């Protein structure tokens, strides 16, 4: 990484977003290379600009910060990402960290402190706002629950189809393998995408490789 930290940020409130751009852009070692208003836009910016650090609000349109975080962390060599949010909800904190966020910063942080946190993130150091750190420790000490498998809602037939899709097979090839008509496979795929809450067969295949056995 160069001496200049390349930063992308996202917030759906234009006044706050523009304020961040100006205050962080005034730092000699930080360059704001992109600013987005929603989750979809920021994921696209990060994929094309390849910044060092990303700051994400959680409450944004089009997938929000959590949705954007998942897409960003799926990139090859993803940047350092922190949530910059007003949300103090435990579930938001835990989900963000589980998905790979390096930091969780509450809005209200001063401009100088935020700039310093960007430098810490760029160096690979994690940060959770002090008011949330104690709650995070409590949550981590709770007895571990069995991890939820997102594929548990699939029928046996849907699981069989998804296994073949994860192998790169087309709907026609899946139909031939399972003795189903291609249009029937399409109907099953629509149901699978809805149950997994993913947008396309590529994302479904990624989930399958993570969770399907055999």
- Same domain? For 133 and 203 the reply is no
pTM for the predicted model, two decimal places? 0.65
H helices of the chain, where? 14-25, 39-49, 64-73, 90-99, 111-122, 130-141, 156-166, 171-178, 182-196, 201-211
pLDDT band at 110 (very low <50, low <70, confident <90, very high): very high
- Same domain? For 134 and 164 the reply is no
pLDDT band at 140 (very low <50, low <70, confident <90, very high): low
Is residue 3 over pLDDT 90? no
> What pLDDT score does 151 carry?
83
> What pLDDT score does 131 carry?
79
- Same domain? For 132 and 30 the reply is yes
- Same domain? For 102 and 50 the reply is yes
Is residue 10 over pLDDT 60? yes
- Same domain? For 135 and 163 the reply is no
> Tell me, what CATH number does 167's domain have?
1.10.10.10
- Same domain? For 136 and 168 the reply is no
SS3 34: strand
- Same domain? For 123 and 68 the reply is yes
Pairing outcome for strands 127-128 and 80-85: unpaired
- Same domain? For 109 and 198 the reply is no
Is residue 1 over pLDDT 60? no
> Tell me, what CATH number does 127's domain have?
3.40.50.2300
Q: Is residue 151 part of a domain?
A: no
Q: Is residue 132 part of a domain?
A: yes
Q: Is residue 38 part of a domain?
A: yes
Q: Is residue 194 part of a domain?
A: yes
- Same domain? For 162 and 120 the reply is no
Domain that holds residue 79: 5-141
**What is the enclosing helix (H) or strand (E) of 30?**
strand 30-36
Q: How many domains does the chain have?
A: 2
Instruction: For residue range 154-174, list pLDDT tens digits in order.
Output: 889 999 999 999 999 999 999
- Same domain? For 136 and 171 the reply is no
- Same domain? For 84 and 47 the reply is yes
Instruction: For residue range 17-72, list pLDDT tens digits in order.
Output: 999 999 999 999 999 999 999 999 999 999 999 999 999 999 999 999 999 999 99
How far is it, in rounded angstroms, from Cα 118 to Cα 82? 9
Q: Is residue 148 part of a domain?
A: no
Taking residues 129-140, what's their average pLDDT?
74
Question: What is the share, in percent, of the chain residues with pLDDT greater than 70?
Answer: 92
Of the candidates 83, 107, 141, which is a domain's last residue? 141
């Amino acid at each position: 990484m160069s001496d200049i930290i390349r930063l992308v940020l996202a917030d759906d409130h234009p006044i706050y977003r523009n304020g961040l751009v100006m205050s962080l852009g005034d730092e000699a070692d930080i360059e704001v290379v992109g600013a987005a208003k929603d989750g979809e836009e920021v994921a696209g910016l990060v994929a094309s600009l390849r910044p060092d650090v990303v700051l994400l609000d959680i409450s944004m349109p089009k997938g929000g910060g959590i949705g954007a975080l998942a897409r960003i962390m799926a990139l090859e060599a993803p940047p350092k990402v922190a949530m910059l949010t007003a949300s103090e909800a435990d579930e938001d904190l835990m989900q963000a960290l589980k998905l790979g966020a390096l930091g969780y910063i509450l809005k209200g942080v001063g401009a100088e402190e935020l700039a310093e946190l960007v430098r810490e993130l760029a160096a690979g150091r994690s940060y959770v706002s002090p008011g949330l750190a104690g709650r995070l420790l409590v949550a981590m000490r709770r007895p571990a629950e069995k991890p939820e498998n997102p594929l548990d809602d699939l029928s046996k037939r849907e699981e069989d189809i998804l296994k073949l899709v994860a192998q790169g097979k087309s709907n026609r090839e899946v139909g031939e393998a399972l003795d189903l008509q291609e249009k029937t496979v399409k109907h099953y795929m629509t149901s699978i995408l809805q149950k997994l809450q993913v947008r396309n067969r590529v994302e479904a295949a990624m989930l399958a490789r993570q969770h399907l056995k055999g």
